[in-house]
Structure 1
Amino acid sequence: MDAKTTPYSTRQLTTPAIRHLAWLCRAPQLLQSPLTFEPASYLPDGITEQLQAWDEKPEIAPALLRETPQKRLGFYFEQLYRVLLEDLLGWDVLLQNRQIQSHGRTMGELDFVVHNRSEDRIEHHEIAIKYYLGVPEQSGRTLWYGPNAKDRLDLKTDRMLRMQSQRTALPEARALLADAGIAEPVIPRIFMPGYLFYPAGTQVIAPESVPASHLRGQWRYLSQIETSDLPGWVVLNKPHWIGPWRQSEPPAPNAVTAALNTIERYNIPLLFAKLEEDSISGLWQETNRFFVVPDSWP
C-alpha cells in the first residue's frame, strides 16, 4: 500500500502549519463536480515521511510553514495551498491572485494558474475554504449560510462553477495569460474543502452537489446551550478552524464562559471544539465541533 492510499493522522503532527497542510492534502470537499481538484490523487510516494520530517525539523520545512500562522483564514489558506502545489506536488505556480483588468475596471481575479507536471498541462485553480450552517426554511428547503450570514453555499457553488472557474475564457484573461507567456488551453479546476454544520436536533439534507463524505459539525443557538454541554469545550480561533484541534492542557471552562458572553455581547457566532483526552498520548484531541450563534442569527 503506497502513500496515496495509506491513511495517516494529522494528530501525529505537532507543528500547527504542517498539521494544517496535512489536513489540506486529503480534506473532503463541499463540491462534487467534474471540475473538482483532488490533491490526494497526485500526492507522491513518501508524502507521510516528508510531512513528518518537516514536523521534526521545522528548519528544513518551506519558509511559509515556519512563519507564524496568519489569522486571516483566506490568506493563510492560499499560503498553504501554494506549499501543497510547489513543495509537495512539485508543480509550478505561474500566476497567483492576478487581477483581470478591462479599461481600468477589475473584472475578477485568477487565484492560481499552475503547470500540472503530472499531466503536463496548464490549469487554472479557483480555491476557497468554507464553513456553512444549515438553516431549515418553512418551505421545507434548507439554506446553508456562512457564519456571518452574508455568504451562502448555493450562491458560492454557482459562482464557482459559472463564473470564477471560467474566467480564463474572458478575452481580457486570455490577453493576460498571453502576456505572461502562458499557452492555452487552460483547464479549470476547483478546490473547496470545508465543513457543513447541521442544526442540533433537526434533520436537514445536504445539497446534492456536496459529496456524502463531507465533514460535519453542529450548530446551536446561544439560548440552547446548557451548562452540562460545556465540559471539554474550547474556542477555535482562526486559522485553527483548519483541521482537527489538539492541545496538551485540559480545556479551561472560564474561557468557554467568556466566549459565550462574547456571543451575547457582540452578536457574533463563535466556533468551538469538543475535546477528549487521549489515554496514550495524554493530549486533548478534537472529537466534534460546534458553532454557537446569537438567537437573532441569521
Structure 2
Amino acid sequence: MNANVGSFLINSFHTPAIRHLAWLCQAPQLMRSPITFDPAKHLPANYPNILAAWDRNPSAAPPLLSEPPQRRLGFYFERLYQVLLDDLLGWPILLKNQQIQSNGRTIGELDFVVHNRADNRIEHHEIAIKFYLGVPEPIGHTLWYGPNASDRLDIKTARLLEQQSRRTELPETLALLAESNITGPLTPRVFMPGYLFYPDVPQAITPHYVPDEHLRGRWMYVFDAKALNTSHWVVLNKPHWIGHWFQSEPPDAEHVLEALARVDTKAAPQLFAVMQENAQTGSWFETDRIFVVPGSWP
C-alpha cells in the first residue's frame, strides 16, 4: 500500500490534528500478532462525520486536538490515541502512562489501561508510531533502522510483544492495579502503525511478521537525491510525519534544496513528500515519501 491510504477522507479535513487522527483510525500496522489492536473494527460507522463536525467547529472538538503538538512525535501520537479511545470509541481510560515501581525504582510503564465496552473487558494497550529504513546486509537479510539508527524494527517488535505487553503479569503491576480497583486478567493489545522505507537498490527483504498492506516509502543517500529533480518535493517536519500531506500552494524548490544541504552538513536524516498537482482543484497531494540520509548513515 502506498502513501495514499485513505487520502480522500484525510484530505477533506482542514485541521491538521484531525487529519492526523483520521490517518490513525485507518493506518495499517507494522506487525502481525494475535494481540494487535485494529481501531477500524470498533469505530462507529459515522466516525468520519464526527471528525467532519469537529473540523467545521473546532470549539466542539476534544480540547486535546487544539493543543500545540509536543516536540516528541510519540507524545503527540499518544494524545491522538487518547482521543480515539475516549471520544471516538467511548472507552473509559482507567490509567495512562502509569509508572510501575519496585523497591523505589521505575521498572516500566503502562501506556493505557482501558475498558473495552464493546467486549466488556479491561485491556492494556501499548502503542508506538514507527518509521524504519531497510538496509540490506551482505549475508542476505535486511536490517530495518529508525532514522537515528539507534532503533530497530526487530528489537522494538520483540520488546513490545515479549516485555511491554506483558507488564501486567508482574506482581508489582498487579499490586498497582489493585490500588485502582482494577482486577485481572487484563487483555494485552499492541498498536504500532508507521512506514517502512525501501532503498531503490539493492532489494530490501520485508520481515515475515509485517503485514503485506503496510505503508511504504523510499530512502536514498543525499548525494543521490541532489542528482534528482526535487522541484516537486516538500519538506515534512513532525508532527506531519503522521498522515497524508497536501497543500494548496506549489512546492518550494528552494526550501527543499536548503533541507538537502542541512542533511549533508548536520548529518541528520530528513523526510520529504513527493507531490503531484490536482488539475481540477490546483492543490497538491502526496504520492510518495522519501527519507534522505547522510552518507555516513546508519
Q: Same fold (TM over 0.5)?
A: yes
1:233 aligns with 2:233: yes
For residues 101-120 of structure 1, the aligned pairs below 5 Å read 101-120=101-120
Separation in 2, partners of 1:181, 1:269 = 46
User: Any idea what SS the aligned residue of 1:229 has?
Assistant: coil
TM-score normalised to the size of structure 2? Answer: 0.96
1:273 alignment partner in structure 2: 273
Instruction: Give 1:75's aligned amino acid.
Output: F
Displacement of 1:181 in angstroms is 0.9
Deviates more, 1:240-249 or 1:81-90: 240-249
1:133 aligns with 2:133: yes
User: Any idea what SS the aligned residue of 2:40 has?
Assistant: helix
Is the 8 Å Cα contact of residues 226 and 260 (structure 2) preserved in structure 1?
Answer: no
Separation in 1, partners of 2:227, 2:135 = 24
2:30 alignment partner in structure 1: 30
2:255 alignment partner in structure 1: 255
Separation in 2, partners of 1:244, 1:202 = 27
1:3 alignment partner in structure 2: none
Separation in 1, partners of 2:52, 2:279 = 22
User: Any idea what SS the aligned residue of 1:272 has?
Assistant: strand
269 and 123 in structure 1: CA distance in 2 versus 1, 3 angstrom threshold: same
1:80 alignment partner in structure 2: 80
Displacement of 1:46 in angstroms is 0.9
Displacement of 1:7 in angstroms is 9.5
Is the 8 Å Cα contact of residues 28 and 193 (structure 1) preserved in structure 2?
Answer: yes
Instruction: Give 1:157's aligned amino acid.
Output: T
Displacement of 1:56 in angstroms is 1.0
Is the 8 Å Cα contact of residues 30 and 193 (structure 1) preserved in structure 2?
Answer: yes
Separation in 2, partners of 1:225, 1:127 = 33
1:57 alignment partner in structure 2: 57
Displacement of 1:224 in angstroms is 1.1
For residues 186-201 of structure 1, the aligned pairs below 5 Å read 186-201=186-201
Displacement of 1:48 in angstroms is 1.2
Instruction: Give 2:113's aligned amino acid.
Output: V
Aligned residues: 293
59 and 281 in structure 1: CA distance in 2 versus 1, 3 angstrom threshold: farther
Instruction: Give 1:33's aligned amino acid.
Output: S
Is the 8 Å Cα contact of residues 278 and 285 (structure 2) preserved in structure 1?
Answer: yes
User: Any idea what SS the aligned residue of 2:228 has?
Assistant: helix
1:177 aligns with 2:199: no
Instruction: Give 1:224's aligned amino acid.
Output: D
Separation in 2, partners of 1:69, 1:247 = 19
Separation in 1, partners of 2:185, 2:229 = 54
Separation in 1, partners of 2:256, 2:8 = 31
Q: Cα deviation per residue 1:161-213 (whole Å; 9 max; x = unaligned)?
A: 00000000000000000001111110000000000000123211210110000
1:143 alignment partner in structure 2: 143
Displacement of 1:117 in angstroms is 0.5
Separation in 2, partners of 1:240, 1:249 = 17
2:283 alignment partner in structure 1: 283
1:158 alignment partner in structure 2: 158
Separation in 2, partners of 1:8, 1:263 = 32
In percent, how many aligned pairs have the same letter?
Answer: 60
Separation in 1, partners of 2:235, 2:68 = 19
Q: Cα deviation per residue 1:100-138 (whole Å; 9 max; x = unaligned)?
A: 000011110000000001111000000000000000011
Is the 8 Å Cα contact of residues 97 and 110 (structure 1) preserved in structure 2?
Answer: yes
Highest relative contact order (Cα 8 Å, sep 6+), 1 or 2? 2
Instruction: Give 2:248's aligned amino acid.
Output: S
Instruction: Give 2:174's aligned amino acid.
Output: R
Displacement of 1:20 in angstroms is 0.3
